[in-house]
């Protein structure tokens, strides 16, 4: 592993994103503050381009390609927001993109990825080795592989959201960030440590997939089976080498919430704040509510990571089906 990225790299990423990524709003909720007794600042990445913070990391990584890399383009494997982030970034930067997606990926996600102009190659999740297939295609076409989280340019790109948040709010007492593979959490921690050194930083992951919590406790990366949870953006089996090294150094704790708590968070966002948030996007707020008794009057940053959810599924989750 090369040297770990630093906050200076987040600052450089922010300069590359300027004029391309949205500076997303920081929303407040008097109801949330009254009910849980803290002062919440919601950084709303559901309003980011393509509907999630993933645009930040993908665009930052692709905009660093040299001329030869640009000509051949980017390749990624993902059934979720990273696919759309790489596809859109490639289109904006005028380069080809190839995305490997499972045959049974939701039709809406396939259509969105193709809609951004990427070539989509389908594979069978049960019989084909996705990583081997990606490597073979990357070699054949000379394309550069952009992983969803374990890459310095990806994680420093993700860190720009918290840079914007704290620049707007001033120092915070605590920051809650959802956790899958740790790109968002590690980048956020770099920004928080630089801009608000006393701020506690917490990663929140689904109860069914607490590999991050286990890893922090064990001091090494723990691998688990793909967890069963409605938080499809956090169904990762393990943290990355770069992300774990930063999380271990800069994150105070990793905590978990249940799927029922995620639905409660989604419902609060819909009813009280009028925003559509995908299940994974509710992790951080669910974690903050759970800790509220320890945060009286505290200034608490909450990352709302994305809003890409099929409307029929969204309605069914909120209806308790
Ligand atoms: C990818 C994703 C996450 C998890 O991010 P990591 O960088 O993998 O930890 C959380 N929320 C949403 C909406 C995502 O798309």
Catalytic residue positions, numbered: 54, 79, 205, 209, 211, 305
Q: What's the chain's average pLDDT?
A: 95
Distances, alpha carbon 1 to alpha carbons 5, 7, 113, 151, 157, in Å: 11, 18, 31, 10, 19
Q: How confident is the model at residue 129 (pLDDT cuts 50, 70, 90)?
A: confident
CA of 184 to the centre of ligand 1 (A): 7
3-state secondary structure of 248: helix
Determine the pLDDT at residue 128. 84
Q: Which tokens hold the place of 177? A: 């960030």
Task: Taking each helix axis as running N to C, give the angle between helix 259-273 and helix 283-290, from 0 to 180 degrees, rounded to the nearest 10.
Answer: 100
Each residue of 44-97: pLDDT tens digit?
999 999 999 999 999 999 999 999 999 999 999 887 899 999 999 999 999 999
Of 311, 302, 280, 318, the residue nearest 81 (C-alpha): 280
Q: How far apart are the first and last CA of the chain?
A: 45
Which residue(s) pair with 44 in the sheet?
A: 304
- Separation in Å, CA 279 to CA 36, 221, 231, 285, 301: 21, 25, 5, 11, 18
For ligand 1, atom 4: residue with the closest CA: 180
Using CB distances shorter than 6 Å, the residues near ligand 1 are: 52, 54, 80-81, 148-149, 158, 178-185, 233-234, 236, 278, 280-281, 305-306
Nearest atom (ligand 1) to Cα of 81: 15
Q: Which residues contact 9 (CB under 8 A, 6 or more apart)?
A: 152, 153, 156, 190
The arithmetic mean of pLDDT across residues 246-258, rounded, is 98
Q: Identify the helix (H) or strand (E) that includes residue 153.
A: helix 152-158
Q: Candidates 159, 184, 242, 304: which one to mutate for ligand 1, based on the most atoms within 8 Å of Cβ?
A: 184
Average pLDDT rounded to a whole number, residues 157-179: 98
Q: Are 273 and 15 in contact (CB under 8 A)?
A: no
Closest ligand 1 atom to the C-alpha of 54? 15
Which residue puts its alpha carbon closest to atom 5 of ligand 1? 180
Sequential DSSP letters for 134-148? HHHHHHHHTPEE--S
Confidence tier at 104 by pLDDT (50, 70, 90): confident
To test the pocket of ligand 1, the residue of 180, 185, 227 to mutate (highest count of ligand atoms within 8 Å of its CB) is 180
Mean pLDDT for the stretch of residues 298-321 = 94
Whether the pTM exceeds 0.75: the reply is yes
Closest-CA residue, ligand 1 atom 7, reads 183
Residue 2 has pLDDT above 80, yes or no: no
Site to substitute for ligand 1 among 279, 306, 307, 310, most atoms within 8 A of C-beta: 306
Nearest CA to ligand 1 atom 13: 306
Calculate how far, in angstroms, residue 34's C-alpha sits from the geometric centre of ligand 1.
Answer: 29
Using the mean position of ligand 1's atoms as its centre, give its distance from the Cα of residue 305 in Å. Answer: 7
What pLDDT does residue 321 have? 74
CA of 17 to the centre of ligand 1 (A): 19
Q: Whose CA is nearest to atom 3 of ligand 1?
A: 233
Write out the two tokens for 97: 């993109």
């Amino acid at each position: 592993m090369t040297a770990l990225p630093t906050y200076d790299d987040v600052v450089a990423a922010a300069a590359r994103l300027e004029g391309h990524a949205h500076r997303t709003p920081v929303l407040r909720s008097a109801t949330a503050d009254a009910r849980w007794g803290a002062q919440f600042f919601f950084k709303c990445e559901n309003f980011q381009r393509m509907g999630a913070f993933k645009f930040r990391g993908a665009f930052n990584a692709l905009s660093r390609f040299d001329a030869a890399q640009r000509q051949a383009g980017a390749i990624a494997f993902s059934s979720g927001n990273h696919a759309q982030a790489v596809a859109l970034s490639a289109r904006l930067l005028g380069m080809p993109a190839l995305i490997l997606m499972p045959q049974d990926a939701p039709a809406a996600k396939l259509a969105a990825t193709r809609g951004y102009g990427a070539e989509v190659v389908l594979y069978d999740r049960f019989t084909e080795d996705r990583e081997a297939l990606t490597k073979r295609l990357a070699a054949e076409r000379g394309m550069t592989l952009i992983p969803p989280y374990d890459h310095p340019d990806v994680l420093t790109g993700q860190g720009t959201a918290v840079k914007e948040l704290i620049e707007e709010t001033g120092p915070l007492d605590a920051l809650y960030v959802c956790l899958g593979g740790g790109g968002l959490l590690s980048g956020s921690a770099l920004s928080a440590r630089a801009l608000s050194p006393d701020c506690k930083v917490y990663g929140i992951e689904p109860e069914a997939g607490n590999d991050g919590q286990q890893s922090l406790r064990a001091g090494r990366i723990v691998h688990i089976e793909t967890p069963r949870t409605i938080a499809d953006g956090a169904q990762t089996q393990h943290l990355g080498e770069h992300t774990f090294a930063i999380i271990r150094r800069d994150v105070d704790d990793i905590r978990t919430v249940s799927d029922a708590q995620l639905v409660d968070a989604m419902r609060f966002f819909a009813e009280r704040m009028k925003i559509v948030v995908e299940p994974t996007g509710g992790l951080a707020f669910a974690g903050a509510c759970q800790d509220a008794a320890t945060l009286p009057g505290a200034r608490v940053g909450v990352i709302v990571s994305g809003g890409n959810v099929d409307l029929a599924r969204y309605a069914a989750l909120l209806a308790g089906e």
